[in-house]
Amino acid sequence: MGDWDEALLNAKKDEAGMTKSEYLCTLILFAPACERPSFREDFTAPFIAELYHVGIRVNNNAHDTNVFRHVSPQNLGNLKNLSAELLAVYDKYVRNPYEP
């Protein structure tokens, strides 16, 4: 295990309030198993373009919140929709890269 992995493991077990052994046992027993995401090189440009467009809207939402010093229900709704869009982009390009 590299230094980065060790640091991440320590942070996660501390966040969970567990020892390293407890944390790893909990992961082994209860965490869902899944494949590591794959990423096709030919998706780089469209993937970045879609992330860019969602990021612009996230930034605009943050700007409005900072200017008015108020988080409106509309801002929260926008963030909820944008987070769903980010997950959709992730699914499209990283999680299911071989589906048309």
| pLDDT range class, residue 57, cuts 50, 70, 90 | very high
Q: What is the pLDDT of residues 58-71, one digit of tens each?
A: 999 888 888 888 88
**Residue-range definition of the domain harbouring residue 62:** 41-95
Per-position DSSP letters for 46-72, written without gaps between them: HHHHHHHHHHHHHHHHHHHHHHHT---
The answer on 60 and 82 residing in a single domain is yes
Predicted structure pTM score: 0.53
User: Comparing C-alpha atoms, which of 41, 47, 55, 58 is closest to residue 91?
Assistant: 47
User: Same structural domain for residues 47 and 88?
Assistant: yes
Whole-angstrom distance, CA of residue 18 vs CA of residue 35: 26
What domain count does the chain have? Answer: 2
Pick from 53, 63, 64: which is nearest to 88 by CA?
53
